Structure 1
Amino acid sequence: MIDIRLKVFLSAAMNLSFTKASQELFISQPAISKHIQELEREYNCRLFDRLGNRIQLTHAGQLLLDHARKIQQDYQQMDYDMNSLQEKVAGELRVGASTTISQYVLPGIIADFHKRFPDIRITMLSGNSREVETALREGRIDLGMVEGIVRRPELKYHPFMDDELVPIVRTGGRLAKYDTITMERLRTVPLVLREFGSGSLDVLQKALETKHIALTDLNIEMNLGTTEGIKHYVEHTDAMGIVSIQAVRDQIYANIFKIVDIEHLKFERQFCFVEKQGASPKLQSKFKHFITSSYKS
């Protein structure tokens, strides 16, 4: 029901790309341009500056974006409330989740949520914790789910699930003979870790600091952008990876990987919902309650 021109403008403005807006909305790029031009004619101003293959918001475009975000939030709440009159739960929810959560925690729960609430449309953005928080601040998502321990003061966080990072090696590799290694040996073991900006690396860094060890003290062989990348790398080398237990349960049971403990060191954390400050809209609250209840059960 929201004006299609406004929906197109929001997508183009938040992606700063007509091409990405076209892909996101499944509308042809000429149609994207047409809707933007109609808005520009209606308000007699340019909304974007075209810089070669790039676009950027003009002052008028930024003003329209600020209003469009508020309209979108009001529309989502209206959609939810009006459907509730018929005892029907419906609406649209844009969720962002950090890599571990989106790959290993959410798929089954989201499937159950869709069965329970088929009229709620969920779109998912995946990235590291920093990217999810940035998307939330920029209004590209309504709710984030992150794995880091760094907190931004302008956002609010609520834990919903406990997690632990575990050191893994390939079964049959030279490190598999150890059940536990010392802190000193950890300094020499070739490691493959997540990239900077990931919640996993934040947790690892903070835990090491309690033992007066910096990341630069370690033998980091490689930083990779995904947990799956780390798993594949470890499976074919004698390096050690440090990943969420959620990501390797099946491979541990299948004897592909072995957990090697590090003496006197644990990497524990919590997965958290992250939102903008203020009250949570009803649809977000329902989704959070479902996720939390699913985990507890």
Structure 2
Amino acid sequence: MSDFRLKAFISVAKNLSFTKASKELYISQPAITRHIQELEAKYHIALFERMGNKIKLTRAGEILLEHSERIVEDYKRLEYDLHLLTNTYAGELRIGASTTIAQYVLPAVLAKFVDKFPDVKISLLNSNSRQIESALGEHRIDLGMVEGIQHTPNIKYTVFMQDELVAVVSNRSKLSRRDEISLCELPHIPLVLREQGSGTLDVLEAALLPYSIKLSYLNVQMFLGSTESIKRYLEHSDCMGIVSFRAIQQEVLEGKLKIIDFKECRIERNFSFIQQYGQDTGLAAAFIQFAMHYNKEI
């Protein structure tokens, strides 16, 4: 329903590239250029300053971007409110989720949601928690789902479910003879952990702080970008990983991996939805309500 020229302009403004905008919106680059030219002709002002192969927003472009984002968001709210009258939902919902949530939590919720609301088109960005927060701030997604610690003051966090980080090793590892370890032993154990910026690493760092253990004290053999990579690595090494319990249940049942308890504590965290303050209506709100209801049933 909204003016597609505004969507094209927002995409070019965010990417500072006509080529990237055409790929993002699945239309040709000449079509993107035409939409921008039509806006510039309508307002009789240049929106971008061309510098060889690069572009940047003019002051007029910055003003139009600020208003365009609000207009597109208002159209989304309008569509949502109108669909409420017939108890149906339609439109586009861009979700961003941290790796653990995207792989082990979200697929079942998405399948149920799409089955119930087939007219909703969903896209999913999968990255670590800090990158998802950045994507929300840059309006590349409408709704985020992240792990652990709240980072950004201008983002609203809504807890979705709880999770636990556990120490895990291969059943063929020498470490598998242990049933529990002390946190003070961690600096002497070879570890494979998630990468910087991941919610998992942030939560682990916070959990170790009361025991005066810094990440720099740990014997980290490798940082990996996904829990799946950590699990596969553990199967062929004597290292220990610290990952979400939800991610390794199947391997534990199959006897491939073993959980070793921490003596001092349980390392717990939250999975949370994130939104911009004031953006609590529309399809994002409908999805949150659905996911919360679904979570209570499982």
TM band (smaller chain): over 0.9
Provide closer, same or farther for how the CA distance between residues 291 and 42 of structure 1 changes in structure 2, counting only shifts above 3 A.
same
| Corresponding residue for residue 201 of structure 1 | 201
For residues 175 and 140 of structure 1, do their structure 2 counterparts lie closer, same or farther at Cα, with a shift above 3 Å needed? Answer: same
Q: Confirm or deny that 1:33 pairs with 2:33.
A: yes
| TM score, norm. by length of structure 2 | 0.93
SS in 2 for 1:140: coil
Query: C-alpha offsets along residues 33-72 of structure 1, whole Å, 9 cap, x if unaligned?
Result: 2322332233233323345554332222211111110011
1:212 aligns with 2:212: yes
1:99 is matched by which residue type in structure 2?
T
Distance 2:224 2:55 in 1: 31
Alignment-derived partner of residue 137 in structure 1: 137
Letter paired with 2:261: D
**Alpha-carbon distance between aligned partners in 2 of 1:224 and 1:13, rounded to the nearest angstrom:** 33
Distance change (3 Å), C-alpha of 1:17 and 1:103: farther
Q: What SS does the corresponding residue of 2:9 show, helix, strand or coil? A: helix
1:1-297 paired onto structure 2 within 5 Å: 1-51=1-51, 53-278=53-278, 280-297=280-297
| CA distance, structure 1, for counterparts of residue 240 and residue 53 of structure 2 | 43
Aligned-partner Cα distance in 1 for 2:133–2:75: 23
C-alpha distance 176-209 of structure 1, shift in aligned 2 (>3 A):
same
Shift of residue 27 of structure 1? 1.1
For the aligned residue pairs, the C-alpha RMSD in angstroms reads 1.8
- Three-state SS of the structure 2 residue aligned to 1:210 is helix
The one-letter code sitting in structure 2 at the alignment partner of 1:181 is I
State the one-letter code of the partner of 2:31.
A
Deviations 1:221-261 (A, max 9, x none): 11122222222222222111111111111111111211112
- The structure-2 alpha-carbon separation of the partners of 1:17 and 1:238, relative to structure 1 and needing over 3 Å to count, comes to farther
Structure 1 position 279, deviation (Å)? 5.9
Equivalent position amino acid for 2:233 in 1: Y
Q: Any unmatched runs of 5+ in structure 2?
A: none
Query: Taking every aligned residue pair, what percent have the same amino acid on both sides?
Result: 51
Quickly say closer, same or farther: Cα 1:80–1:173, change in 2 above 3 A.
same
Report Cα offsets for 1:184-237 as digits up to 9, x if no partner. 331111111111111111100000001111111110111122222222222222
Moved more, 48-57 or 200-209: 48-57
Residue segments in structure 1 that go unaligned for 5+ positions in a row? none
SS in 2 for 1:122: strand
Give how far 1:283 is off: 2.6
Deviates more, 1:79-88 or 1:249-258: 79-88
Shift in alpha-carbon separation, 1:68–1:161, aligned structure 2, 3 A: same
Preserved CA contact (<8 Å) 1:186 1:262: no
- SS of residue in 2 equivalent to 1:45: coil
Equivalent-residue separation in structure 2 for 1:196 and 1:54 (angstroms): 31
Q: Which amino acid is the alignment partner of residue 215 of structure 1?
A: L
Cα distance change on mapping 1:45 and 1:236 into 2, 3 Å: farther
Aligned partner letter, 2:161: M
Contact 1:150/1:202 (8 A) holds in 2: no
Contact 1:90-1:119 at 8 Å conserved across structures: yes
Alpha-carbon contact 1:148-1:198 (below 8 Å) kept: no
Aligned partners of 1:163 and 1:262: how far apart in 2? 16
SS in 1 for 2:167: strand
